[in-house]
Amino acid sequence: MQAERRRIQLQPLEEIGYRTLMLLHADLGDRAGAVSTYHHCASVLERELGVIPDPVTRQAFQRLIADDAPDGASRPAVQPSPRSGVAAARLVGRSQELAVLAELWRDAASGAPRLVLIRGGAGVGKSRIAAEIATMAGLGGAVVASSQCFGTSGRLALAPVADWLRHPAVLAASAVLDAAWRAEVGRLLPAEGREERGAGSRAMVDAWQRHRFFEGLARALMAVGQPMLLILDNMQWYDQETLAFITFFLGLAAGTPVLVVGTWRNDAFDDEQDLAAWTVRMRAAGLLTELSLSPLDAAGTARLAEVICGWPLPESDADLLQAATGGFPLYIVKAMRGRADAGSTSLPAGDLAAVLRNRLEQASVPAREVAGLAAAVGADFTLDLLTEASNLDAGTVVGAVDELWRYRIMREYRDGYDFSHDLLRETAYTLVSPPKRWLLHRRVAQALELLHPDDADTVSAQLAEKPGHRSLWIRQHARR
């Protein structure tokens, strides 16, 4: 029980943890705890992503409610109730990507198995568009099984595959396999669907039986006999065995109506060479389609805000929202949450400030340090200046600026860079303590001196525009 609660704390947007905790509460006879867990899951998904729990989670909750009803009493189905505000926000600005996914799903459902990899930065809407195609497939009667990779140490091999195998339709199909294949499935998923601790690791002990083991798992999925959508979220935290199984499964599943949809956060994982090499192999095999999601443009940002609140933003607020969020849907939803709840016609300053801090805090430690230094410079800073003024090596500074550029916190400006909005500069500056600000201003003044020894007039004018540097410059030159 404690392990599952910890899992939810670490991955609050991942539904499998909630479902497992619901079942644990139900097994202990704690129906109230199970219902409370479902409500918490639904609230978190609504607040953070603007979506409702997926069909598997709702069906699990429905079964719990049905089991708790008195004999002979009606058992109402749990349906996603209409909601206002964030939960009602439909997918905005992704019509092209959704059309590609829908076409791939139709092809897969007709017996052409495929893999789709949705790439993009944190908060760009990868999980949201995967949920959209899952809803579409579920409404068409398909089996939808979801799982997620975890970025923690001690990951179990094939844990996502085990989650797929736990789907009721897959369990039912596995039960009618030949005994030899059921035994292979049992190596990963022991009898009655209750995985023992460490089962995923033990399943790979006998490497010489790997082919037969993978075939048993694949046959369990193929035996479902109806269109199937398999979702794997956060593939950047992959394990090698899961990638190997997906390759094996798609190679064996010719004619099987299945689509595997993976999401990959690629804004901070450029060094994942194994995963990149795997995608090259899958692409060469003709099995992979890749979708890259970019942040929404200004029009898309304004439209999503309008959908959340029910009325259009004033042009000034729309421009401010685009600058503050960078067009990342997750941040747009967070920024507009207060306005939707309060029925306000103005952009909530408190929520906007929180979004700005959150965007900066998502960056790595070196990137945040460089952002603070850049904020101390002011506008129009160069890589040379940041490198000279920083105590980081040049490669780290360049990598940090590149990260901030990819997060759309910085943009190219003249011959250097600037923050994409003054509010981001101000927020980065407020995250620096007053003593550290003094030190940063001193470093910037010294760096300007070193970089422009023969152009004192220009540098003096630049420093004079920045109150934080001016007194340092005067004191330094007074001593000469």
Name the residue with higher pLDDT: 210 or 469. Answer: 210
By residue count, the chain amounts to 480
> Does residue 330 have a pLDDT over 90?
no
Worst-scoring range by mean pLDDT, 57-61, 188-192, 361-365, 440-444? 188-192
CATH number belonging to domain 95-292 = 3.40.50.300
- From the CB of residue 160, how many other CB atoms can be counted at a distance below 10 Å? 31
Q: What is the pLDDT of residues 70-87, one digit of tens each?
A: 444 443 344 444 333 444
CB 217 within 8 A of CB 209: no
Mention the CATH class of domain 298-358.
mainly alpha
Domain map (residue ranges) of the chain: 2-72+81-87, 95-292, 298-358, 363-478
197 has pLDDT over 70: no
* CB 139 within 8 Å of CB 132: no
pLDDT at 334: 77
Helical axes 31-49 vs 55-68, angle rounded to 10°: 160
pLDDT score for 215: 95
pLDDT of 216 higher than 90: yes
- The mean pLDDT value for 221-232 works out to 96
What does the pLDDT read at residue 365?
92
Task: Tell me what the mean pLDDT of segment 174-191 comes to.
Answer: 91
Contact 224, 256 (CB under 8 A): no
Print burial letters for 338-376: b (CB count within 10 Å at least 16), e (below 16).
Answer: bbbeeeeeebbeebbbbbbebbbebbeebbbbbbbbbbb
Residue 46: its pLDDT value, please?
Answer: 67
Q: Which CATH number is correct for 363-478, 1.10.3470, 1.20.120, 1.10.20, 1.10.10?
A: 1.10.10
Say what the pLDDT of residue 82 is.
38
pLDDT value, residue 89:
52
pLDDT tier, 388 (very low <50, low <70, confident <90, very high otherwise):
very high
Q: List the single range of 42-51, 62-71, 143-152, 272-281 with lowest mean pLDDT.
A: 62-71
pTM: 0.64
Residue 17 or 455, more confident: 17
- What's the pLDDT at 73? 42
**Of 272 and 315, more confident:** 315
Q: Note the pLDDT tens digit of each residue in 117-137.
A: 999 888 888 988 998 999 899
